[in-house]
Amino acid sequence: MERVQLAHTKIDNLEKFDWVEYFRYNNSHLLKLDFSDNRELTSEEKELITHSIRAFQIGEGSERKAFNQGCRKIFYKK
């Protein structure tokens, strides 16, 4: 099975990009992923996704913090 090339994208202008159509197209052209292939990511693949994973982790942490603060306000009102 051919590996996905993360460095290639058809998005030229993010501000004017039709995201709805993009996700509709992706939904109708789903990749067939072979989960039995447990090879490690290459150095190039790791480099390509590192920034995205870091940004995701920061978002997850801040959302959890805001959620916890909101819960404390609701449940520990005096």
pLDDT tens readout for residues 50-66: 999 888 887 777 767 77
Q: How many domains are there within the chain?
A: 1
Assigned domain for 3 exists: no
**Nearest residue to 14 (alpha-carbon basis) of 25, 22, 6, 5:** 22
Indicate the residue type of 32.
Answer: K
Distance, CA of 44 to CA of 46 (rounded, Å): 5
25 in a structural domain: yes
**Domain membership of residue 30 as a residue range:** 19-75
Contact 1, 37 (CB under 8 A): yes
The model's pLDDT over 15-30, given as tens digits with 9 standing for 90+, comes to 778 888 888 988 998 8
